[in-house]
Structure 1
């Protein structure tokens, strides 16, 4: 999808041909960002929106200069960025405050690091604290503050350096809904003030309504690897009312784009890997059994069908994580996911309406259908003592699933197997055995 009517303001930053890889503990590289090209202009708010694990936070840190991309370049005012972006400040998701410092000291630390004159540090810090409504709390420690107040300190610390661009990594996700609503309004008020240096906000979010409420351009990302699927211009006039039909229409449009990108209705054919033993193992989504069962319970209560985004709001799950839960349930044939819908299959309905013993038997039966479990079970049966070391299983994951973290895969693998009583695992001996 092409970018629609990009703002005509002065170009501030550019991300050109950005690719980024991480190295897993097993030594295998995994591409987290691929072919990213994005322009950031003055006097706009831009948001990255997409599923968990698509590289949103990594891309924000690349723009801020905290991470150097594997390939590609960041430009600020047309000049290649070397090191930390001097015009950017970050508000982190988890507050990132120094617990041994007071509110004032947490804000002053930025100016001290920049070697500001001592007589200016106190004045600028006081102004920033007052700007976010924390006057009177200068001598308080983080442990004395609520989540919302801690985030205000984080915002004050980011603003005290008078940045051109304010980078925010899911800044409202750790506070309650009412506090988040207040903070959004205050950020917009600070951004819109005349005469301030701050001109641009670049934020990461998973909340579609939050994005529609705040931003001018919405960058929709896909995953595996992280890439830009499309850029939408938000032309709704400010202040925005989330109850209007225009607002709801844009929310629905974004829902549709994301659903099409993450859980496409048409099957995407991927050439199988040529594996040493001719085995194609399935990566297991990193979700708990309780989350899978909980999803089936909710679907059953909804007569077996629900829109995935309405469901995310109802059960208070970030939609990217809900999609992972849905993928796990679909892997076990308990649900189907046509378009934006999640449908409970007959097997899923039978599973959720059964008692515990029948649930375990049905779960075990579905594990037998997965190559990952078939492969390990065959190894167990071939072993004279009927046991396999954990290290041996993780080595199999390294060989057959080179882009997965083998330790994490093993943890999920064991959890699912234990619920179905497929085999036993002893932490003390490090062995898997047939049960």
Structure 2
């Protein structure tokens, strides 16, 4: 028999905007999950990773391609697949015991057997003695343990973990991750395979037999790294650090291709179109990162793992900042390294006024959405427009929440560069005071 448990063949998924426009979220996803392996899936926010997990769990259907579980088409939730959510997803009015028993009750397991299996799962996950507690009486780590116990109590073949540790503080998340790995290595759980969606590169390297890097717009598997190291893995070992570096390089490979061109057609192809996502990067943090990169010990160039350590930024925070600096031409992102460009060097050593001017120029030339908004404002005698037409335009390609996020980022960047202004009370976008629309 095949050791393949779950297989996706050319899977695609699209959603429709409120205007009826088809928006592809996943396209041509090929994926295989085999007996005896842990696979980690990394990618930017909004790349479709969570949608992919819900397709694998049978919670939503794929529009294109084929999903096979144990070589049979998957048309709905499978008894052998369980999922752990980032948000814990516990019923607040039920006790720990009752929350864990839910899946068994839905499957018609008799009360005595439900109770026995739930108590066993609760003890296995380290919560013995808390069976009668309500979720509000537990810490975040304990609530996530309840979610994991609820997933494991049905003895699934496949455990899908969607950012299961990211809502926890660092030490709690590490402890829970180590406990899951210990159960896996000791074969204390019946689960045959685990798929972990994560933003944490080190976590992926410590857990997985394979790391998959997901691309965005639409989501698809871009690259894969096999890891053959035995567990447990020392996060400070040279082997693990080298693998972390390699994954960073894979995560930044698309940006690196544009950086190496030095501009031109290839570089333009990497820049966003009007309705594409922008990195959720705060301007103050971008400037802080540039300054760290400029000073000792980096002198203008650093590998991302070391930069993360120096700045104490998580991967989920550092990567959007690095991509934003690359997009704006202030740094080059290539092969897991971030290096100041000549413009970035000039920016760091300039006065606040010069920085604002440079930032505004880069935003106008490199962020099409900002250029479009500015041009639209210049056509208005009043120099102002409501935000709704721009949100409506973004809705044609993005979900409502994504459209709001993209417009917020564009406005924040443009306001910092004094390209435009925004009234948070009225929702009006307008040209900066003193701008002459007739001569602009």
State the TM-score bracket (shorter-chain normalisation): 0.7 to 0.9
Does 302-311 or 362-371 show the bigger shift?
362-371
When residues 213 and 365 of structure 1 are mapped into structure 2, their CA distance, relative to the original with a 3 A threshold, is closer
Matched, 1:414 2:411: yes
2:305 maps to 309
Q: 2-side partners of 1:382 and 1:56: how far apart?
A: 40
2:321 maps to 325
Gaps of 5+ in 1: 1-7, 274-279
Matched, 1:339 2:335: yes
CA offset at residue 240 of structure 1?
A: 2.8
The CA deviation string for residues 103-138 of structure 1, in whole angstroms up to 9 with x for no partner, is 122212222222221122211111111111111111
Does 374-383 or 69-78 show the bigger shift?
374-383
Partners of 1:110 and 1:161 within 8 A in 2? yes
Indicate the RMSD between aligned Cα atoms, in angstroms: 2.9
Tell me how many residue pairs correspond in the alignment: 420
- Find 2:377's aligned residue among 352, 375, 380: 380
When residues 108 and 332 of structure 1 are mapped into structure 2, their CA distance, relative to the original with a 3 A threshold, is same
Partners of 2:90 and 2:135 within 8 A in 1? yes
The alignment partner of 1:153 has SS state of helix
CA offset at residue 290 of structure 1?
A: 2.5
The alignment partner of 1:84 has SS state of coil
1:219 maps to 212
- Find 1:40's aligned residue among 33, 54, 62: 33
The CA deviation string for residues 390-409 of structure 1, in whole angstroms up to 9 with x for no partner, is 2233355568xx45854333
For residues 237-386 of structure 1, what are the structure 2 equivalents within 5 Å? Answer: 237-264=230-257, 265-267=259-261, 269=265, 281=274, 283=276, 284-301=278-295, 302-319=298-315, 321-370=317-366, 371-386=368-383
Q: 2-side partners of 1:367 and 1:254: how far apart?
A: 29
Does 224-233 or 108-117 show the bigger shift?
224-233
For residues 23-172 of structure 1, what are the structure 2 equivalents within 5 Å? Answer: 23-25=16-18, 27-172=20-165
For residues 397-412 of structure 1, what are the structure 2 equivalents within 5 Å? Answer: 397=394, 402=397, 405-412=402-409
The alignment partner of 2:146 has SS state of helix
CA offset at residue 171 of structure 1?
A: 1.7
When residues 96 and 271 of structure 1 are mapped into structure 2, their CA distance, relative to the original with a 3 A threshold, is same
CA offset at residue 194 of structure 1?
A: 4.8
Partners of 1:222 and 1:262 within 8 A in 2? no
Q: 2-side partners of 1:296 and 1:124: how far apart?
A: 54
Matched, 1:391 2:388: yes
The alignment partner of 1:93 has SS state of coil
When residues 417 and 257 of structure 1 are mapped into structure 2, their CA distance, relative to the original with a 3 A threshold, is closer
1:200 maps to 193
Does 23-32 or 130-139 show the bigger shift?
23-32
When residues 195 and 205 of structure 1 are mapped into structure 2, their CA distance, relative to the original with a 3 A threshold, is closer
2:436 maps to none
Q: 2-side partners of 1:168 and 1:282: how far apart?
A: 30
1:277 maps to none
Partners of 2:211 and 2:224 within 8 A in 1? yes
Gaps of 5+ in 2: 434-440
When residues 196 and 306 of structure 1 are mapped into structure 2, their CA distance, relative to the original with a 3 A threshold, is closer
Q: 1-side partners of 2:340 and 2:19: how far apart?
A: 37
- Please give the TM-score of this superposition, normalised by the length of structure 2: 0.85
- Please give the TM-score of this superposition, normalised by the length of structure 1: 0.85
